[in-house]
Structure 1
Amino acid sequence: MKFSKSVIGGAALASASALVLVGCSPEGSESDSTATAGDSASTGAAIIKTNGSEPQNPLIPVATNETGGGKIIDALFAGLVYYDATGAAHNEVAESIETDDSQTFTVTLKDGWTFTDGTPVTASSFVDAWNWGADPANSATALNSYFFEQIEGFDGYNSEEGASNPEMSGLKVIDDSTFTITLAAPNAEFPLALGYSAFYPLPESFFADPEAFGKAPVGNGIYTLASADDWKHDVQIDLSVNDSYAGEREVMNDGLSIVFYASQDAAYADLLAGNVDVIDGIPDANLATFGDDLGERAVNQPAAIFQSFTIPQNLEHFSGEEGNLRRQALSMAINRDEITNVIFQDTRTPASDFTSPVIDGWSDSIPGSEVLEYNPEKAVELWAEADAISPWSGTFSIGYNSDGGHQTWVEAVTNSIENTLGIDASGLPYATFADFRTDVTNRTITGAFRTGWQADYPSLENFLGPIYYTGAGSNDGDYSSEEFDTLVDEGKTASTPEEAIEKFQQAQEVLFTDLPAIPLWYSNVTGGYADTVENVQFDWHSVPLFYEITKK
């Protein structure tokens, strides 16, 4: 839908989001309070303890594109908008986001926002942060630069290595509380993305020393890292309530402690013992019983999470016609129904596309999706055709992090492949998520590897562009398709949500032909909480709303 004029305030933006969010995850309660963190009692006794993982990268919003760091970044920073439990967007730092043409947006900020170092949050805090993230000179750090691609004047990953373009022409500071965003082409969905962490503001201290900032970030969110000593690497991070938080989300506890467990089993054992308050993952071995163990405190609800494994484009035997045949054969060799039923106790649903059923526009009948059906006879036939081009040798491996509870399903997938195709297949475990991601990021991993996507904002495009667009920050398999890129661009600039959905579905047809990743299943969020806490609610993309949780 093209707006003649859109004034995107809290209620108006929520209505606009509803166009995109039909069929989103179950609704939850939403506080109408306008109290701030400073209104909460802060005795230090009501600290919420949860599970997490050591961040892969320094705690800089535009440098964080994995869930371990993302959970922390979202607690430390506040953006122009935030998402409620259902995924609807509400203004936070923004007073309004206005547009006449869905191409140029005028952003007006609310008064009273400061960073935890006491400096004000201004229009420049956003514009300078986005320009830094889009600057090709910072591309090694700014992994989320893809999200600025649609702003006029973006060069980013398309520039020559070492080039510098510190200012995008599409960003203009009008005064301390006002700035404009001009896109390269109209995009009515653009405001919906502005709650994602790539668009968070940064204080002036960041630009003086980004490396030091990443170790002790200064934010404007609900919580704060009071001291660099509160981040005990590979152990836990302790966040305090930010008394200067100026938003409408009321904080109902005294802080957040995120423990970096070595395994889901350890986290679940601590939950049952009352040593941790809430966790967002249940070990495979306990999926059949956690409902009985926790009763009403067990959580099992749909979430915008997609699981796959990626086969790098440069992996031997997986390029050209041979690679296309082998990718199809592997996909058809996996018995997704059996794995999701037996291992996951139906807390997963076999994938039928590359996105999520909780996102508007999802379809289970995209042409080419039949490659996701278990078809062992066809799989053997395709593998033989590939062998006729170049005989297979060696072991097919899938890399994964052992601390994330992935071993059981990786073994089931590789067993299914081995039994169907008659080849050696096995998992390749890494001790920690950080170690695993380092090899993936450095392109030093020697086989396929597990991949997944937890939505940043509720749109089909968010499951496609950041992962498969040429040069995008989370394109870990280095996939590149001009046809796919063009369809994504056309979807982003479509004049109506319906036209956008059509383009994004066509883009998935290209993915089903090329299979840069092998879709496996959609995830429910499975978790739970101890009898030490109340008011626990998980949001549309599986993260607990920590600020709402109260200690008994």
Structure 2
Amino acid sequence: MPANTTETGGGKVVDYLWSGLTQYDNTTGESSNLLAESIDTTDSKVYTIKIKKGTKFHDGTEVKAKNFVDAWNWAAYTPNGAQGASFFAEIQGYQDVTSADPDDDGPQKAPEPKAKTMSGLAVVDDHTFTVTLSEPFSIWPVKLGYSAFVPMPDAFFAAADKAEWGKKPIGNGAVKFVSWTNDVEINLTRFDDYNLSDKVKIKDVKVKLYQSDDAAYNDLLANNLDFMQQVPVTALAGDQWKTDLGERAISKATPVTQIISFPLYDKRFQNPDLRKAVSLAINRQEIAEKIFFNSRKPATTWSNPLAPGNGANDCTICTFNEAQAKELYQKAGGFQGKMTFYYNADASHKAWMEAVANSVKNVLGIDAVATGIPTFAALRERINAKKMDGPYRAAWQQDYPDVENWVGPLYVTGGSSNDGGYSNPQVDALFKEGVGAANVDAAHAKFAEATKLIDADAPSMPIVTVEEQSGYSTKLKNVETTNVGELDLSKVEIA
């Protein structure tokens, strides 16, 4: 379910199955209309959106304006439990469809929201709807290419069990769902009634689910896998992957940062001095050089350098500083027991997460260890359930090209991917001021102010930024990757 899929594994499949109002350029990341015929505003507060006529969902029903309005209302309504609800926070009436749990998973229940639909959404006709924001926000249209904003078919709203519906989803994209075998593969096929600009030429797509990226890489080299978004770390040494793949090796800077987050609901991690000490004890430069063979760069910012509005070197806790780390650790009163750094073991995270733990252990004397959880799905299940008892890998891939996407979802109270439970009312207020700023520059200035407070609180630790190393088999031609490194299905052909 698009509005409830906030991790990149499921996100890839959602991107294949659905088409949204806008799309992002593979190289620049710039937004352009896809399903939208036009997105107009005179004041950056009220937007009139016209969609193209004659597009269909995979069940043959027409995509209409109400399918957007109904989908956004469903996602924002708190009782539905969609993780992506906060993406709709700028829309007028969002506060009326949301309510907070008074004791965070305790015995009390969140009260019923005042309304079931947002007052800022209105259907004009079958192909037109209006969106009224709580206040002007010039960056808002940039968000519309993200998967939370796609339309949902009438069949979704009619389904009594939404989770079951999500196992056989009906999208409106260039490929449609065929079958799904858990932990093995997801099968898709071309949707021949698709009529937007990003049609696919290939007939079938099999998304293979691996328990090890080394196994996936071996399949790639054997021509049993046609595309791999990130080759394993083991193939990076001496540029072995380039030797293996030759002209089929793709290197591309992507708006992705490897981050480690703290579970702030665990009292042991609620002291910001401890969190800063841990971050300052990590030698990012050494990790980039020795583990990633300089295919990654040490993180120096809270957002990614490719994000418009990114603040250069705004992460003061990202620089290795033994003396300051020890001083803050003493100030925090130390740490009792074992500090476990968690990661998903089905991708190449073991070496760098162990390097993080060893760095913390050597500098601060903490009994720090890195522990792998078998799969990304299992890791995310524990994170979503707020059952983490140590820092954990929580990388972020940009949803849409703006620094706002690195502040709101991750660090604003109730953000869609604020999994550690970080909350600072001043950050929330500055973010809201940025959203309501008169222009993009003013918005970015407010987000920068919020970032300074985030830096002082250290709710997480940016570690390295990612340049992606992808590869494809001899069976393919015209291979391109999207701005976030996914395979562009609309370009690829069989050789």
Q: TM above 0.5, one fold?
A: yes
What pairs up with 1:95-494 in 2 under 5 angstroms?
95-139=37-81, 142-155=82-95, 156-159=97-100, 161-164=110-113, 165-209=115-159, 210-226=162-178, 230-288=179-237, 289-319=240-270, 323-366=271-314, 369-387=315-333, 391-494=334-437
User: Deviation of residue 162 (structure 1)?
Assistant: 4.5
User: Deviation of residue 547 (structure 1)?
Assistant: 2.5
User: Would the aligned equivalents of 1:300 and 1:347 in 2 still touch at CA under 8 Å?
Assistant: no
Q: 2:35 aligns with which of 93, 103, 111?
A: 93
Residue 550 in structure 1 maps to residue 487 in structure 2: no
User: Deviation of residue 404 (structure 1)?
Assistant: 2.1
2:437 partner SS: coil
The number of residue pairs the alignment matches comes to 480
Given the two structures, how large is their TM-score scaled by the length of structure 2?
0.95
User: Would the aligned equivalents of 2:342 and 2:390 in 1 still touch at CA under 8 Å?
Assistant: yes
User: Would the aligned equivalents of 1:136 and 1:162 in 2 still touch at CA under 8 Å?
Assistant: no
Given the two structures, how large is their TM-score scaled by the length of structure 1?
0.85
Distance in 1 separating the partners of 2:310 and 2:34:
28
Report % sequence identity: 39
Distance in 2 separating the partners of 1:272 and 1:423:
41
Distance in 2 separating the partners of 1:107 and 1:159:
31
User: Would the aligned equivalents of 1:157 and 1:471 in 2 still touch at CA under 8 Å?
Assistant: no
Distance in 2 separating the partners of 1:525 and 1:536:
15
Distance in 1 separating the partners of 2:8 and 2:53:
31
Aligned to 2:14: 73
Aligned to 1:30: none
2:288 partner SS: helix
User: Would the aligned equivalents of 1:348 and 1:522 in 2 still touch at CA under 8 Å?
Assistant: yes
Q: Deviations over 1:59-83 (max 9, x none)?
A: x111110111100111111111111
User: Deviation of residue 190 (structure 1)?
Assistant: 0.9
Aligned to 1:20: none
Q: Deviations over 1:255-280 (max 9, x none)?
A: 21110011110111111111101101
Distance in 2 separating the partners of 1:543 and 1:207:
29
Q: Gaps (5+ residues) in structure 2?
A: 102-109
Aligned to 2:467: 524
Distance in 2 separating the partners of 1:252 and 1:412:
44
Aligned to 1:54: none
Distance in 1 separating the partners of 2:272 and 2:263:
12
1:546 partner SS: coil
Distance in 1 separating the partners of 2:100 and 2:335:
38
User: Deviation of residue 92 (structure 1)?
Assistant: 1.5
Distance in 1 separating the partners of 2:255 and 2:170:
29
**Higher RCO (C-alpha 8 Å, min separation 6):** 1
1:484 partner SS: helix
Aligned to 1:41: none
User: Would the aligned equivalents of 1:225 and 1:239 in 2 still touch at CA under 8 Å?
Assistant: yes
User: Deviation of residue 384 (structure 1)?
Assistant: 1.8
User: Would the aligned equivalents of 1:77 and 1:220 in 2 still touch at CA under 8 Å?
Assistant: yes
User: Deviation of residue 352 (structure 1)?
Assistant: 1.1
User: Deviation of residue 211 (structure 1)?
Assistant: 3.1
Q: Structure 2: which amino acid aligns with 1:68?
A: G
Residues 219, 146 of structure 1: alpha-carbon distance in 2 compared, 3 angstrom cutoff: same
User: Deviation of residue 511 (structure 1)?
Assistant: 0.8
Distance in 2 separating the partners of 1:126 and 1:410:
41
User: Would the aligned equivalents of 2:344 and 2:376 in 1 still touch at CA under 8 Å?
Assistant: yes
User: Deviation of residue 242 (structure 1)?
Assistant: 0.7
User: Would the aligned equivalents of 1:223 and 1:242 in 2 still touch at CA under 8 Å?
Assistant: yes
1:186 partner SS: coil
User: Would the aligned equivalents of 1:251 and 1:547 in 2 still touch at CA under 8 Å?
Assistant: yes
User: Deviation of residue 370 (structure 1)?
Assistant: 2.7
Q: Structure 2: which amino acid aligns with 1:246?
A: N
Aligned to 2:106: none
1:418 partner SS: helix
Q: Deviations over 1:58-115 (max 9, x none)?
A: xx11111011110011111111111120212221111101111000001111111111
Distance in 2 separating the partners of 1:453 and 1:114:
32
Q: Deviations over 1:199-221 (max 9, x none)?
A: 11011110111233211111110
Distance in 1 separating the partners of 2:418 and 2:13:
23
Aligned to 2:104: none
User: Deviation of residue 311 (structure 1)?
Assistant: 0.9
User: Deviation of residue 365 (structure 1)?
Assistant: 3.4
Distance in 2 separating the partners of 1:174 and 1:432:
45
User: RMSD over aligned Cα, in angstroms?
Assistant: 1.3
Q: Deviations over 1:218-241 (max 9, x none)?
A: 111011013xxx101110101000
User: Would the aligned equivalents of 1:351 and 1:519 in 2 still touch at CA under 8 Å?
Assistant: yes
User: Would the aligned equivalents of 1:340 and 1:347 in 2 still touch at CA under 8 Å?
Assistant: yes
Residues 304, 316 of structure 1: alpha-carbon distance in 2 compared, 3 angstrom cutoff: same
Distance in 2 separating the partners of 1:271 and 1:384:
49
Q: Structure 2: which amino acid aligns with 1:529?
A: Y
Distance in 2 separating the partners of 1:324 and 1:249:
47
Q: Deviations over 1:361-410 (max 9, x none)?
A: 223233xx3321111122122212222xxx52211111111012211110
User: Would the aligned equivalents of 2:263 and 2:389 in 1 still touch at CA under 8 Å?
Assistant: no
2:246 partner SS: helix
Aligned to 2:483: 540
2:317 partner SS: helix
Q: Gaps (5+ residues) in structure 1?
A: 1-59
